[in-house]
């Protein structure tokens, strides 16, 4: 198939440097070559890592409690157009982040393209230790990587174009088309939002209770067959044993096999239209073991290959 690749070296949605180096690390470890030579994808785009330096303003004071609001807004606006231009041609889109704020760009871009091409609303499977559904007002950190889902679903709204006001109805995701897997560190304000809107969520508790096979089955049943799926995978969904090099690791997470299984199952539906891999931060290796970064990059590559069909026999 045809694969649009967008490498996004952006870290402004949170405060730790290094997550902007992830796309290079993933590409240098051979991911794109494997997708081309082993999984037979025709790659569109390039292995240039987009840094969007021209879009990051010198002066970017907090707005409604958000940190780096203009930078995140203008980078995701540009990214939204890039992803849209791949998806409207019918290409699968792979975005290599970057922190999870970039999903404001990727999901808005595919949502718009799928509406135009297929007249359909797509679904999102958000695999993460965190719900990333804070509004600017409910967020304790002010980091926009904890808010993308609230902007993408219209729970957070802003008129000013330089502060996400560029997001229009065609970019948005229906709350009943959103499913979480892997949650285990959800803020009180986010729990209230999940509850009040009845958002479908499978926490680590659900995975322990039912097993990953049943959880994925229930998640896909909620979405419905024949619905285009955007998979947004935060590597911190994995247990730090498998993915230690990430900004906000939370113990008690998915095994690499469980993560790969989610990706394989989504591939198997035939409905995958886009995948994001985010929050790999190669500079955050564990003190006593500098294999951490290498292992995290390897885990990220495995997830992407599984989503793109590596496990098919
Ligand atoms: C926290 C952490 N809920 C926040 N979020 C993270 O800052 O809003 N998301 N780490 O990946
Ligand atoms: Mn490019
Ligand atoms: Mn997370
Ligand atoms: Mn996240």
Using a pLDDT cut of 90, give the percent of the chain over it.
95
Q: Tell me which residue of 105, 118, 89, 135 sits closest to 276, measured CA to CA.
A: 105
Q: Whose CA is nearest to atom 8 of ligand 1?
A: 146
DSSP 16: -
Averaged pLDDT for residues 135-150:
98
Distance 303 CA to ligand 1 centre (A): 21
Does the pLDDT value for residue 250 go beyond 70? yes
Q: How high is the pLDDT of residue 116?
A: 98
Q: Tokens representing 65?
A: 């409690």
Query: Please, what is the angle between helix 103-118 and helix 69-87, to 10°?
Result: 30
Give per-residue pLDDT as tens, 71-118.
Answer: 999 999 999 999 999 999 999 999 999 999 999 999 999 999 999 999
Average pLDDT value over all residues in the chain: 96
Distance 269 CA to ligand 2 centre (A): 28
Question: Collapsing DSSP states into helix, strand and coil, what is residue 243?
Answer: coil
Asked whether this complex has an ipTM greater than 0.90, the answer is: yes
Distance 237 CA to ligand 1 centre (A): 12
Among residues 60, 77, 132, 239, which one is catalytic?
132
Neighbours of 226 (CB within 10 A): 9
DSSP 132: -
Q: What distance in Å separates the CA atoms of residue 221 and residue 259, rounded to the nearest whole number?
A: 18
CB neighbour class for 247 (10 Å; exposed up to 12, middle 13-18, buried from 19) = buried
Among residues 50, 86, 100, 171, which one is catalytic?
100
CB neighbour class for 58 (10 Å; exposed up to 12, middle 13-18, buried from 19) = exposed
Distance 126 CA to ligand 1 centre (A): 14
Residue 234 appears among annotated catalytic residues: yes
Residue 42's beta-bridge partner residues?
Answer: 2
Q: Whose CA is nearest to atom 10 of ligand 1?
A: 248
Does the pLDDT value for residue 138 go beyond 80? yes
Residue 50 appears among annotated catalytic residues: no
Distance 37 CA to ligand 4 centre (A): 30
Which ligand ends up closest to the CA of 78? 2
Using a pLDDT cut of 70, give the percent of the chain over it.
98
pTM of the model: 0.98
Please state the separation of Cα 119 from the chain's center in Å.
23
Distance 197 CA to ligand 4 centre (A): 20
Averaged pLDDT for residues 114-134:
98
Q: Which of 126, 141, 240 gets mutated to test ligand 1 (max ligand atoms within 8 A of its CB)? A: 141
Query: Which atom belonging to ligand 1 lies closest to the Cα atom of 247?
Result: 10
Q: How high is the pLDDT of residue 40?
A: 97
Q: How high is the pLDDT of residue 47?
A: 76
Q: How high is the pLDDT of residue 296?
A: 97
Averaged pLDDT for residues 208-234:
98
Residue recorded with tokens 């958002």: 199
User: What element of type H or E holds 27?
Assistant: helix 22-28
Please state the separation of Cα 283 from the chain's center in Å.
20
Residue 310 appears among annotated catalytic residues: no
Residue recorded with tokens 């500098």: 290
Q: What distance in Å separates the CA atoms of residue 51 and residue 74, rounded to the nearest whole number?
A: 12
Q: Whose CA is nearest to atom 6 of ligand 1?
A: 146
Q: How high is the pLDDT of residue 176?
A: 97
Does the pLDDT value for residue 288 go beyond 60? no
Q: What distance in Å separates the CA atoms of residue 7 and residue 44, rounded to the nearest whole number?
A: 12
Ligand 1 contacts (CB < 6 A) are 100, 130, 132, 134, 139, 141, 143, 145-146, 187, 234, 248
Question: Collapsing DSSP states into helix, strand and coil, what is residue 301?
Answer: helix
Does the pLDDT value for residue 286 go beyond 70? no
Q: What distance in Å separates the CA atoms of residue 195 and residue 130, rounded to the nearest whole number?
A: 15
98 cis-preceded (ω within 30 degrees of 0): yes
Q: Tell me which residue of 132, 74, 163 sits closest to 276, measured CA to CA.
A: 132
Query: Which atom belonging to ligand 1 lies closest to the Cα atom of 129?
Result: 11
Neighbours of 135 (CB within 10 A): 20
Local confidence band at 45 (pLDDT 50, 70, 90 cut-offs): confident
User: What element of type H or E holds 123?
Assistant: strand 123-127
Query: What are the distances in angstroms from CA 157 to CA 68, 216, 293?
Result: 17, 31, 36
Local confidence band at 287 (pLDDT 50, 70, 90 cut-offs): low
Q: Which of 11, 128, 129, 130 gets mutated to test ligand 1 (max ligand atoms within 8 A of its CB)? A: 130
Q: How high is the pLDDT of residue 207?
A: 98
Local confidence band at 265 (pLDDT 50, 70, 90 cut-offs): very high
Local confidence band at 312 (pLDDT 50, 70, 90 cut-offs): confident
Q: Tokens representing 228?
A: 């285009």
Averaged pLDDT for residues 192-210:
98
């Amino acid at each position: 198939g045809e694969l649009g690749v967008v490498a996004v070296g952006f870290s402004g949605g949170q405060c730790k440097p290094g997550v902007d180096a992830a796309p290079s690390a993933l590409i240098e470890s051979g991911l794109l070559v494997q997708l081309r030579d082993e999984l037979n994808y025709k790659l569109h785009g390039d292995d240039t890592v987009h840094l969007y330096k021209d879009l990051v303003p010198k002066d970017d004071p907090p707005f409604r409690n958000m940190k780096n609001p203009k930078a995140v807004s203008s980078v995701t606006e540009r990214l939204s157009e890039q992803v849209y231009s791949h998806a409207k041609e019918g290409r699968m889109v792979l975005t290599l982040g970057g922190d999870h704020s970039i999903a404001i760009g990727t999901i808005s871009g595919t949502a718009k393209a799928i509406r135009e091409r297929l007249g359909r609303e797509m679904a999102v499977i958000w695999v993460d230790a965190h719900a990333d559904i804070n509004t600017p007002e409910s967020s304790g950190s002010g980091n926009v990587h904890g808010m993308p889902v609230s902007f993408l679903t219209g729970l957070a709204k802003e008129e000013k174009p330089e502060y996400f006001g560029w997001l229009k109805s065609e970019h948005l995701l229906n709350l009943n088309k959103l499913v979480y897997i892997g949650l285990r560190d959800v803020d009180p304000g986010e729990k209230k939002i999940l509850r009040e809107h009845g958002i479908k969520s499978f926490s680590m508790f659900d995975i322990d209770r039912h097993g990953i096979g049943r959880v994925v089955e229930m998640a896909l049943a909620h979405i419905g067959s024949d619905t285009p799926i955007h998979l947004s995978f935060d590597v911190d969904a994995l247990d730090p044993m498998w993915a230690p090099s990430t900004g906000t690791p939370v113990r008690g997470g998915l095994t690499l096999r469980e993560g790969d299984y989610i990706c394989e199952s989504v591939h198997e539906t035939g409905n995958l239209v886009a995948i994001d891999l985010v929050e790999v931060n190669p500079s955050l290796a564990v003190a006593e073991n500098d294999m951490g970064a290498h292992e995290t990059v390897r885990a990220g590559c495995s997830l992407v290959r599984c989503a793109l069909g590596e496990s098919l026999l």
